[in-house]
Amino acid sequence: MSEAWEEAVPDRPVSIRETFDIDIEGEVLGFAEPSEHVPAIDPGYRFDPRTTMALLAGFSNNRRVLLQGRHGTGKSSHIEQVAARLNWPCIRLNLDSHISRIDMIGKDAIVLREGKQVTEYREGILPWCYQRPVALVLDEYDAGRPDVMFVIQRVLEANGRLTILDQNRVMSPHPLFRLFATANTVGLGDVSGLYHGTQQLNQAQLDRWNIISRLDYLSEEEEEEVVLSKVPLMGQGENRKILQQMVRMATQTRIGFEAGDVSTLMSPRSIISWSENYAIFGDVDYAFETAFLNRCDQAEWPIFLEYYQRCFGRTLSETGQQIWKRVSSEEEAGKVRAHL
């Protein structure tokens, strides 16, 4: 038995201007109600016009859209946030090396039925989505294993069918099934050496994507707006300048990453955590250490500290060396006496 959301159709006009802040007239159709698999709306989200138009074509015109861009540019979240605005159920599948062909298509399993052991087919994630009004996002598409890519290749044709050889089953896609992917590279393998584990995608694979869109980092001003929408405290007084310095620091790490000097970069999420930690601890340096530095390779710390110096004009912890200290033994003794 199918659930109510599986029967729904997109019949609610959504204004592109009002919903995505893109300066054009036009509407796309979304579902009337959110359902179980619809991502939560991020109210401060900044839609990139080109990327968003590509994704809207994906949803409305059943185009297969591949988003390409560096780590943390907002590829996955763009797809999720467009889906959220359209109330389109959306399932994200990370194609990192742990996903196998069996996970994708399913397998036979032995189950007990009326006391007897019978083999039963357990549907994998791909056929499950394929037969429902679901946008499937293949995240880190360029990291997929060859056996997985082979399965995906067959569903890439919009009118293609999914054949599950092991099952002798042929499925047709649900008319509202949509397919998206994100990749760090454009499938030419990784010449830069920045993205380990990415595979070279063959041309036949790439040809099957109808729309390939590139996404870059937000401008520093826009990134500040994103942080302000999440942590309004950063707009108050002195904090405004601190926020600028934080965003500049993030830019430094991205330049360094690009150049191969460091292996970790600050995504917009890292700046948000940094700001949140600052709001909690009241100390920029400690907030930086806990939001970012402590998860970086120690061998690279000197480089990060140099970036920090460039952005803040002082060395890390120069002022906040000891933001907290233990009460001195004298004070402690005083307290003990007071108790007696």
Ligand X SMILES: Nc1ncnc2c1ncn2[C@@H]1O[C@H](COP(=O)(O)OP(=O)(O)O)[C@@H](O)[C@H]1O
Site of interaction with Mg ion (CB under 5 A): 76
Shortest Cβ distance from residue 299 to ligand X (Å)?
24
Among residues 77 and 167, whose Cβ is nearest to ligand X?
Answer: 77
Sign of dihedral through CA atoms 137, 141, 145, 147?
Answer: positive
Q: Which stretch binds ligand X (CB under 6 A): 9-17, 74-82, 93-101, 248-256?
A: 74-82
53 near ligand X, rule: CB under 6 A: no
Is residue 74 near ligand X by the rule CB under 6 A? yes
Q: Which stretch binds ligand X (CB under 6 A): 23-31, 151-159, 267-275, 280-288?
A: 267-275
Measured from the CB of residue 139, what is the shortest distance to Mg ion in angstroms?
5
- Interface with ligand X includes 211 (CB under 6 A)? no
Residue 180 sits in the site that holds ligand X (CB under 6 A): no
CB atoms within 10 A of CB 340: 4
Q: Is 73 in the site for ligand X (CB under 6 A)?
A: yes
Choose between 69 and 127: whose C-beta lies nearer to ligand X: 69
226 binds ligand X (CB under 6 A): yes
> According to CB under 6 A, which one of 68, 185, 239, 267 is a site residue for ligand X?
267
Q: How many chain residues bind ligand X (CB under 6 A)? A: 17
Contact window for ligand X (CB under 6 A) among 6-14, 24-32, 65-73, 234-242: 65-73
**With contact defined as beta carbons under 8 Å apart, do 125 and 93 qualify?**
yes
Residue of the chain from 5, 20, 31, 45 that contacts ligand X (CB under 6 A)? 45
Choose one: 39-47, 123-131, 147-155, 294-302; the region binding ligand X (CB under 6 A).
39-47
- Please choose, out of 69-77, 163-171, 247-255, 304-312, the segment that lies near ligand X by the rule CB under 6 A: 69-77
Helix, strand, or coil (residue 150)? helix
Would you say 68 and 185 are in contact if contact means Cβ atoms under 8 Å apart? yes
* CB-closest chain residue to ligand X: 74
Q: Render 67-123 in DSSP notation, one character per residue.
A: EEE-TTSSHHHHHHHHHHHHT--EEEEE-STT--HHHHHEEEEEEEETTEEEEEEEE
φ, ψ dihedrals at 295, nearest 5°: -100, 5
- The neighbour count for residue 18, using CB atoms within 10 Å, is 9
Residue 268 interacts with ligand X (CB under 6 A): yes or no: yes
Minimum CB–partner distance for residue 71 and ligand X (Å): 5
**24-33: long-range pairs with CB below 8 Å, 24+:** 28/56, 28/59, 28/60, 28/86, 29/60, 29/86, 30/85, 30/86, 30/87, 30/88, 31/5, 31/86, 31/87, 31/88, 31/133, 32/8, 32/87, 33/8, 33/87
Distance in angstroms (rounded) separating the CA atoms of residues 280 and 286 = 10
Task: Compute the least distance from the CB of residue 244 to ligand X, in Å.
Answer: 17
What DSSP assignment string belongs to 197-211?
A: T--BPPHHHHHT-SE
Q: How far is the CB of 316 from Mg ion (least distance, A)?
A: 29
Residue 164, classed as helix, strand or coil, is strand
74 vs 68: CA distance, rounded Å: 10
Is 46 a binding residue for ligand X by CB under 6 A? The answer is yes
Give the nearer residue to Mg ion in terms of CB position, either 76 or 264. Answer: 76
**Of 68, 182, 199, 253, the one binding ligand X by CB under 6 A:** 182
- The window from 24-32, 248-256, 266-274, 316-324 that contacts ligand X (CB under 6 A) reads 266-274
8 Å CB contact between 28 and 8:
no
Alpha-carbon distances of 3 from 35, 118, 132, 135, 148, rounded to whole Å: 10, 27, 10, 17, 29
Q: Which one of Mg ion, ligand X, none interacts with residue 35, CB within 5 to 8 A by kind?
A: none
Residues near ligand X (CB under 6 A) are 42, 45-46, 69, 71-77, 182, 218, 226, 267-269
